[in-house]
Structure 1
Amino acid sequence: MIALAALLLCATAPPVLAEAENLRAQTLVIGKVSDSPRKHFTRLKPMVDYVGKKMRDLGITRTRVLMAKNNAQMIRYLQQGKVDWVTETLFSSILFEQQAGAEIILRKWKKGVPGYHTVFITRKESDIHNLEDLKGKRLALEDPGSTTAFYIPAGILQEAGLELELLSNPRQHPAPDKVGYAFAKGEINIATWVHKGLADVGAYNNLDWNTPDHTPPVFKKDLRIFHRSSDLPRGFELVRPGLDTSIKQRLIEILKNTHRDAAAEAVLNAYQQTAKFDEISAETQAILDHVREHSAVARGNLH
């Protein structure tokens, strides 16, 4: 009986596997690293549905959103072919490119802008005026996955010859010759920590600085910017290695023309208020190359 059951299992497994593979080939899957999957699902599903409908002639009949809890999980999804298409910021995009073989295909005008930059903030009465003044100070950052509130400021400090020390909480103090950093888990928390004196300095992007929900006016009047990074691309669209060429080229074509389609206005707005997508310019390519070649953070040397 056991032998018969095993024989039947072997006999039926190939058709089931073939059916699953066929179903996967008919499904366009967009992925996102998120600690708020419900929120991001509502942002991504309209876009993948919009694109999927324009790929019916290529055999796409279904769409799906697949969330990853962190970059490591998304890398596995990309390597395993579970995700076709990812939307991400600069450093995560390069990480997926380097460790999963993903391909950056377009720049994303997230929140309506093509670029942004990191700003370092402190209280107006602070004696901090340049990066060298940060030795022995506490820096509030957002989380380990943030481009402008972790990777960029950390890279700037490293390039300035400053050594970083991870703090377990903002009340802990670093060694006198190091810059201590702690994660505030939110832009408004960065502004709050600096305003309340829990951190000497905070770093996030210029859009956060100019957004009242992230930097309330009652805080902002007591704060100042003392250092800025150069401008960086706001976001990118990537595809997994091995994605069918016809699917990839159609995706590029659809996204590049989405801003011209009146029917896609709500889709773009849901998709993190994206204004449009455009090709990787020589200037953007130079930024990508610089980060790939010169940033210790992008190579995973900072934890």
Structure 2
Amino acid sequence: MRFITAAALAALIAAPAMAEGWKDDYKVLKFGVLSGENEKDRIARYTPLEKYLEKKLGIEVEIFTAGNYDGVIQALAADQIEIARLGSSSYAAAYTATNGGVVPTLTDIKQDGTTGYYSIVVTRCDSGIKSLEDAKGKVHAFADPDSTSGYAVPYWNMVNKEGFKPEEHFGTVTFGGSHEADVQGVYNGTFDTASTYQNNDVNGIYQRMEAKGMIDAGQICKIWQSPEITTGPWTFRKNLPADMIEDVTVAIEEFAVEDVEGFKAYSSFDPEDKNPKVGFERVDADRYQWIVDMRAWIKAERRKSSS
């Protein structure tokens, strides 16, 4: 009887520690966000989610930022962060860098049930440039080599749909470093055209910049738009505990319902947007395989060009 009582007591003492599961090994959850906008605005958008996850999961949560997309991708590959909010192309880059060692779980979903957005090319409205053909010989800026809408999708479409190689069509091709830098460069006259993205005609990078007073309204115009792109995923390292991936995924899923104002900040809610983001949808690796294949094609084209 004494043995049974001691064993039961030991089990009771051990139970709280065992119940924590993966939290015993992961006292801090670090998530990375891409450099699509300036760091101040990135932090402002993701801080409500950071605070929500801390309360929901009962652990410390930290936001990780880097000066470019590759910084976040490499941090994920080097096990320096556990999760990242990636674009489709940066997910593909992380998938390649880790030999498939990442797991996509969620993407944003809009009010009408769609989960996509668009790559666009913009210019100053007073530039006289009305099409990609008009931009021949001009200075064009892509956003970042690991950007879906700011590089991979427009580059692939220019070659395979529009019938020209950007390096041969434009007078100069460069990288602005981020979507905001691309738009700001066009606004300032540094670039004639630039690749960026929008969700629709009232919600996108340049529209947000107008709303924030970074640029004057009515100065930036769209001259090209891609087919719809699946929004990038929340992506975990595959070497994390499966229950950790599921618990954090569920917590993020519930964010839109349990912290409505925080989700508005995260999603850059615009009351004029008739099709705002309303939550998340589960995704898997198959959803993004075409992006992985597209990136492989772009790399092969680069090798051919340099040989």
TM-score by length of 2: 0.67
Q: Is the counterpart of residue 278 in structure 1 residue 281 in structure 2?
A: yes
Native 8 Å contact 1:94 1:292 kept in 2: yes
Q: How much has 1:116 moved relative to structure 2? A: 1.7
Specify the alignment match of 1:7 in structure 2. Answer: none
1:148-159 map, 5 Å: 148-159=149-160
Specify the alignment match of 1:141 in structure 2. Answer: 142
Residue-pair matches, total: 261
Q: How much has 1:243 moved relative to structure 2? A: 0.9
Q: 2:181 & 2:54 partners in 1: Cα distance? A: 38
RMSD: 3.9
Q: 1:42 & 1:196 partners in 2: Cα distance? A: 25
Specify the alignment match of 1:182 in structure 2. Answer: 174
Native 8 Å contact 1:259 1:276 kept in 2: yes
Specify the alignment match of 1:78 in structure 2. Answer: 76
Specify the alignment match of 1:257 in structure 2. Answer: 254
What SS does the aligned partner of 2:31 have? strand
Q: What residue identity is the alignment partner of 2:240? A: L
Specify the alignment match of 1:204 in structure 2. Answer: 196
Q: What residue identity is the alignment partner of 1:104? A: P
Q: 1:125 & 1:260 partners in 2: Cα distance? A: 43
Q: Is the counterpart of residue 238 in structure 1 residue 241 in structure 2?
A: no
Q: What residue identity is the alignment partner of 2:82? A: D
Native 8 Å contact 2:90 2:146 kept in 1: yes
Native 8 Å contact 1:138 1:199 kept in 2: yes
Specify the alignment match of 2:28 in structure 1. Answer: 27
Specify the alignment match of 2:3 in structure 1. Answer: none
TM-score by length of 1: 0.67
Q: 1:252 & 1:201 partners in 2: Cα distance? A: 38
Q: After superposition, give the CA deviation of every residue in 1:140-199 in whole Å (9 maximum; x if it has no partner).
A: 33344543233322222232442333xxxxxxxxx6x55532344565665565567654
Specify the alignment match of 2:96 in structure 1. Answer: 98
Aligned counterpart in structure 1 of residue 48 of structure 2, from 43, 46, 49: 46
Q: 1:185 & 1:80 partners in 2: Cα distance? A: 22
Q: What residue identity is the alignment partner of 1:265? A: V
Q: What residue identity is the alignment partner of 2:57? A: M
Native 8 Å contact 2:76 2:84 kept in 1: no
Percent same amino acid among aligned pairs? 18
Q: 1:189 & 1:293 partners in 2: Cα distance? A: 28
Q: What residue identity is the alignment partner of 2:149? A: T
Native 8 Å contact 1:135 1:162 kept in 2: no
Specify the alignment match of 2:201 in structure 1. Answer: none
Native 8 Å contact 1:47 1:271 kept in 2: yes
Using a 3 Å threshold, how does the CA distance of structure 1 residues 37 and 158 change in structure 2: closer, same or farther?
Answer: same
Q: After superposition, give the CA deviation of every residue in 1:232-275 in whole Å (9 maximum; x if it has no partner).
A: 133320101211111111122222232222xx123323434363
Q: 1:44 & 1:195 partners in 2: Cα distance? A: 27
Aligned counterpart in structure 1 of residue 261 of structure 2, from 248, 257, 266: 266
Q: 1:218 & 1:196 partners in 2: Cα distance? A: 14
Native 8 Å contact 1:163 1:179 kept in 2: no
Q: What residue identity is the alignment partner of 2:148? A: T
Q: 2:46 & 2:130 partners in 1: Cα distance? A: 41
Give ranges in structure 1 of 5+ residues lacking alignment.
Answer: 1-20, 166-174
What SS does the aligned partner of 1:44 have? helix
Native 8 Å contact 1:139 1:199 kept in 2: yes
Give ranges in structure 2 of 5+ residues lacking alignment.
Answer: 1-21, 199-203, 269-276
What SS does the aligned partner of 1:30 have? strand
Specify the alignment match of 1:12 in structure 2. Answer: none
